[in-house]
Amino acid sequence: MDANFWHQVWQQDQLGFQLAEAHPLLKAQLAALPADGAVLVPLCGKSPDLHLLAQQYRVVGAELSQIACRDFFTEAQLPVSQRDFGVFTLWQAAQYQLWQGDFFELPSTAVSGCQLIYDRAALVALPPDMRQRYAQTLKQLLPQATLLLISLEYPEHEKQGPPFSVSSAEISQLFDFADINLCGIRNLTGQGFARRKFETSSLVEKGWLIRW
């Protein structure tokens, strides 16, 4: 899976992963998160979660797609400034900074002031061979952080991702350098994932508070 796949997803408006409002597990855990500062949101898209987070934090998003960045600010009716920052384009308005480019190349200056990471759709978007690199990149960018992670589990032989199934055991392995706590479970069996129909025998979302 490469960048072209995700560019095509946005170009063809294949946004079945897009929620209409902020995620229930984010709403439920917001009070347990650090009180202020900045939050890093990898692979943020144009998620409505960003608006909820912006009520409490400065939002630093990382997003590959120019379409996603443009549409986020257009739909929010925010006048946005753009400037080049190395291989990235920085989109900025109000409480939001969206860094358009490859997340794995994100400069440390982008996450200055961040104590919190929110991941609802990044880890589950990555195939297995990219997940270890992702977890290590988070640790390198933020040597001390709280991560609110939302994972997805379903029988892998029944459906091909993305979104991918990531087991509890794999999360323990990926973040073996951290303190991991399960903070919420949503049984979505028969309901689907966001706007996407999921014909699997089981489908479960789990919320994790991970600190290192």
The CATH number given to whatever domain includes residue 184 is 3.40.50.150
The CA distances from residue 180 to 71, 164, 176, in Å, are 34, 20, 8
Q: Report the 10 Å Cβ neighbour count for 212.
A: 16
Label residue 81 exposed, middle or buried (CB < 10 Å: 0-12, 13-18, 19+).
exposed
Containing structural domain, residue 200: 3-13+34-211
Whether 21 maps to a domain, the answer reads: no
Residue 192 falls inside a structural domain = yes
pLDDT of residue 160: 82
Residue 29 lies in a domain: no
Local confidence pLDDT in tens for the 212 residues of the chain: 566 665 566 555 555 456 678 999 999 999 999 988 999 999 999 999 999 999 999 999 999 999 999 999 999 999 999 999 999 999 999 999 999 999 999 999 999 999 999 999 999 999 999 999 999 999 999 999 999 999 999 999 998 878 999 999 999 999 999 999 999 999 999 886 655 677 889 999 999 999 99
Q: CA geometry: angle at 8 spanning 3 and 11, to 5°?
A: 130
Per the domain annotation, does 67 fall within a domain?
Answer: yes
> Coil, strand, or helix at residue 145?
coil
**110 in any annotated domain:** yes
Please report whether residue 183 resides in a domain. yes
Pairing verdict, β 58-63 and 38-42: parallel
Report the SS3 class of residue 24: helix
Q: Are 99 and 44 in contact (CB under 8 A)?
A: no
Question: Rounded CA gap, 168 and 89, in Å?
Answer: 35
Number of domains in the chain: 1
CA pseudo-torsion sign 35, 169, 48, 109? positive
The answer to the question of residue 26 being in a domain is no
- Does 158 map to a domain? yes
